Amino acid sequence: MPENSSDAQRKFRTLTELKPSTAKEYQDAIVKRVDYFAATGTSTFNNAIENVIVTGASLFLNAKEKIDAMLGDELVDKVHSAIEKILLLF
């Protein structure tokens, strides 16, 4: 970054200075948007089946994180490759 006198007076910040509340603000922005659409009554957020699938996928991801950590990179790659082959069988 430039260091001359006029630049030195400028307001420079870096991403290391994130406010402690930033993560919450991001999540609140999603929640607020979901509420906005849900209020219409016709949104995908009112679909019970989809909500159940999303909850299931979230549980799956939680479990997968732990299983992947246990298996190690090499074994995870082999498992992924095998699953991909099955999923692409048509």
Smallest distance from the beta carbon of 56 to another protein, in angstroms? Answer: 9
Burial code of 26-50, b = ≥16 C-beta within 10 A, e = fewer? eeeeeeeeeeeeeeeeeeebeeeee
Residue 11 found at the interface with another protein (CB under 8 A): yes
Residue 83 found at the interface with another protein (CB under 8 A): yes
Contacts of 19 (CB under 8 A, 6+ apart): 25
Among 5, 32, 41, 74, binds another protein (CB under 8 A): 32
Kindly state the DSSP code that residue 45 receives in the 8-state scheme: G
**Binding interface with another protein (CB under 8 A):** 1-2, 6-7, 10-20, 22-34, 37, 43-45, 47, 50, 53-54, 57-58, 60-62, 64-65, 68, 80, 83-84, 87-88, 90
